[in-house]
Chains A and B, each alone.
Chain A
């Protein structure tokens, strides 16, 4: 298909490069520099989608970020992305896009029946209808709404694109590269300030690309190109196109999304798809310009009705005529510029101006070109279904209430200009309380909240001369504060033909006997009548009206609809617009890809992966790994076809009968030094620490101030003022912060230092009846007998030339030792242990066997110390000193904590000695009791006891102390299991603890 609506040699596109693309399966051509929208319009395609609620045909309304209609599903490099604005998507070779919200096709859409049912779909329809009957929600309403709703489909495939985050600091961040952004950037850059200038479009220049103005004896466009070229050569300036600043956060931090690859058929190697910039700026200049406002009239959503500025942009930037028989409907001078452009390119427009006797240079020019201008005339309604075919027009009385006789005029597009709305989103996000500016009928930023200044059209200043003057001045002034330089910049002279006055007129009254839909929010299909209903039903706050009618709630966030909605509410309520107020602006300004927000923190990159120094050995020996916090730990070492259950059972059994070795490097380790270290530990732990001799370890429990167990572990006195504390893997970081808090804030008088040494030491636990034999082989010169190194003893030794710390501590309940060496020597240590242990049938064991061993011994761990239990609950009350005070002690006096029937850890065995008990199951008295069945406790940890060869679990059970011997039921609705069980002691194996002392 030829590009029938493309003009020769007009615009900024590159005609040397022709691009082919597909829309709804049909092939078209465009040029490099086109957007999907401009290329489609060049081909005469106006029908791009269907509206959200009524499925009315939708065309193009704008030419950029404000576009409410032209949302497509994009296909690129075998990926698909929804919610793409055709007006922003740059064309590339092979681009494919499809319409959304229509079925089976955009031309014939079944959902359009809603359009004929629209009297049944007024504001609040969903709230009113789908409330009853309740049972219908899941079965009928929700599936129906889900199918009907949505603008496109998210891909369910893994996103192969890469997204980056970047942190940046600058003196001045300037949002928008129009006249105001360029001049303030230029002045600030000349003063040596570090400037970042961001433009959301591919081309810099903003309104200068399309407005008929002269700056310093050149066209606005040429002047802009000159400034940008100079800024690009300056080392202190970063200029970024395709970069949208979408959020203004606290302490002058703004976030910008840079589209690095969206305009290319495929992301270049080593390039991200998008880059998110977190920018901390000393000063922010908001020069985001303004968005043209529609005038409301009948059927104003028909394809072919669009903003007059968009029509001008399609013509001047892309060389595309949006129609060959245009009707311009305006209440200010902007429409004339569009009309003149049409006229200059051989198309005869008709201007309807709601004003009676407007005067300005540009109007004179239009008249002299012979353009047909009808004053005090309005469009009453657009006619045509899938495209404008004609317009009903009429004269209007001075008070804008009475329409004259309706006439029909043939046209193929209606370009509307209802004046300009400043883009105050960023200023408002910064916390700036906006104020209403009467003469422009719009809100502008008020007093600055953060270090931000709004300039030019975004500040409601529509005179180019004034914009340039204030922007040069502000750029110079703000940069001077920062750099202390003060270079004078001459302000160029400006020629501008249009006046910035407008007619306060925004909505055409309905002619008698007609009931045209007059849309306010084009994306969400909110019409004048919907707002009227909401107000009639008692909604007053603009925030409520918004939510009830969905006005301004679509993905365009009401960029073109908000002010007209406010005008309507103020008119009906008989209040002034500022009294109605506007809804809150929140980031993001425009939809941002989730991928960009997530950045590189996906999959394995979402958190660091930590490996012990022995990791390679584990890997070589068929370890199956498990995530333990940020660590990777061997879960079991697979032999042959073993599964987890078989492998871990073998490993645990070998510990109980021979000897095993487990990598315990991941345990948190904290070095504690200082003359007051003993006193400090005495306050941190619940048990007594003052009398622990040098060379001895002690098990300790620490509480939070609320009495809940925080962590447990052993701490060893290495020398007089030096202790080595261990924490659980999970709590290591929290415990360190906890200790630092008490040392720095609560008891600064204590002379103690703490530092994490988790990464400095590699640890191996050697456990089992033959562990002493292994240890003796490792340290032939040491006396490691029960007398030489008793339970909870500590010594230092030489492990084949490597310095080692030896602790006689046990988590498995067997005779056991823990050997620590410097991390660098971890692998060496491990290999030596395996080597000397071979004759004792040593086997490595993983976390699964480790759990089994501790569970059947009744040693509590993270699943019992779950942030809800006190020492008594864990049968640790023997470690709670009555004599001294410690962190959290006072809380243990709480009534609930001292209750007779307090929960307590117990053992649980299934009566059939066969059925495994799922962790997290509840314990109940009567399996058949009516729901909700009173819960007595829960299963905290389960294992297969290798000692007795049957399932065994630990549970936290109400009145656990008196429940031993009771028969209860374990219930797991999740696993659909009901298991009769007996409650036994939590110390299932070796209840007297003889083995560890043997």
Chain B
């Protein structure tokens, strides 16, 4: 079980969180004409990375904030966590 540092609450066990997928995916702007490919890339297409991955988690049984977690998908090492509005260096 992972041990995740919520930037709002501190170190918390994984059971308090729910996973939210790739954090680098940006939703296309509203009312913008976009191609099928762009939309598919947003909705469906994800890279299944091995290694460093920036992902979203929600501290669902805690502060309910969505946070960003930089995690190694192979080793589960967590490098850093960020608030939702925090810039990822």
Contacts and interface: CB of A to CB of B under 8 A. Distances in A.
A binds B: yes
Interface of A: 167, 249-253, 278, 280, 431, 449, 683, 705-706, 737, 740-741, 744-746, 748, 884-885, 890-891, 893
Nearest to B32: A885
Interface in B28-52: 28, 30-31, 34, 36, 39, 42-44
Contact of B30 (A251, A253, A705, A885): A885
B39 A891 contact: yes
B60 A251 contact: no
B87 interface: no
Given A280-B3, A890-B34, A740 B66 contact: yes
The 8 A-B pairs at the shortest CB distance, nearest first, are namely A251-B3, A885-B30, A744-B66, A885-B31, A250-B76, A744-B84, A890-B39, A746-B27
Given A250-B76, A705-B43, A741 B2 contact: no
A122 B85 CA distance: 64
Contact of A741 (B43, B44, B58): B58
A368 B65 CA distance: 75
Contact of B75 (A431, A737, A884): A431
B2 A251 contact: yes
B40 to A, nearest CB: 9
B18 interface: yes
Contacts of B18: 737
B1 A251 contact: yes
B65 A253 contact: no
B62 interface: no
Contacts of A280: 3, 13
B56 interface: yes
B89 to A, nearest CB: 18
A703 B60 CA distance: 21
A893 B37 CA distance: 13
Interface centre among A683, A741, A745, A748, by most B CB within 10 Å?
Answer: A745
Interface of B: 1-3, 13, 18, 20, 27-28, 30-31, 34, 36, 39, 42-44, 56, 58, 60, 64-66, 75-76, 78, 84-85
Contact of A737 (B30, B39, B60, B84): B60
A745 B30 contact: no
Contacts of A250: 1-3, 76
Nearest to B56: A745
Contacts of A737: 18, 58, 60
A705 B31 contact: no
Contacts of B42: 705
B75 A249 contact: no
A706 B2 contact: no
A912 B38 CA distance: 52
Contacts of A893: 36
B71 to A, nearest CB: 10
A891 B1 contact: no
Nearest to B67: A744
Contacts of A740: 58, 64, 66
A702 to B, nearest CB: 15
A908 to B, nearest CB: 33
Nearest to A706: B43
A689 B58 CA distance: 28
Contact of A745 (B39, B66, B78): B66
A889 to B, nearest CB: 9
Contacts of A431: 75
15 contacts: A250-B76, A251-B76, A280-B3, A280-B13, A737-B18, A740-B58, A741-B56, A741-B58, A741-B66, A744-B66, A744-B84, A745-B66, A745-B84, A890-B28, A891-B39
Contacts of A890: 28, 34, 39
A896 B30 CA distance: 23
A885 B3 CA distance: 39
Given A744-B65, A744-B84, A252 B3 contact: yes
A251 B4 CA distance: 9
B6 to A, nearest CB: 13
A587 to B, nearest CB: 12
Contacts of A252: 3
A683 B30 contact: yes
Contacts of B34: 890
B67 to A, nearest CB: 9
Interface centre among B18, B20, B64, by most A CB within 10 Å?
Answer: B64
B4 to A, nearest CB: 8
B60 A278 contact: no
Contacts of B44: 706
A306 B78 CA distance: 47
Contacts of B56: 741, 745
Contacts of B1: 249-251, 253, 278
A241 B34 CA distance: 65
A654 to B, nearest CB: 41
Contacts of A746: 27
A452 to B, nearest CB: 14
Nearest to A886: B30
Nearest to B38: A890
A252 B1 CA distance: 9
B63 to A, nearest CB: 11
Contacts of B39: 890-891
A706 B43 CA distance: 6
Contacts of B27: 705, 746
A746 B27 CA distance: 7
A743 to B, nearest CB: 9
A893 B38 CA distance: 13
A431 B43 CA distance: 34
Given A431-B75, A891-B39, 10 more contacts: A249-B1, A250-B1, A253-B13, A683-B30, A705-B43, A737-B58, A740-B64, A741-B58, A741-B66, A748-B85
Nearest to A884: B31
A739 B85 CA distance: 16
Contacts of A449: 75
Contacts of A251: 1-3, 76, 78
Given A251-B1, A705-B42, A741 B20 contact: yes
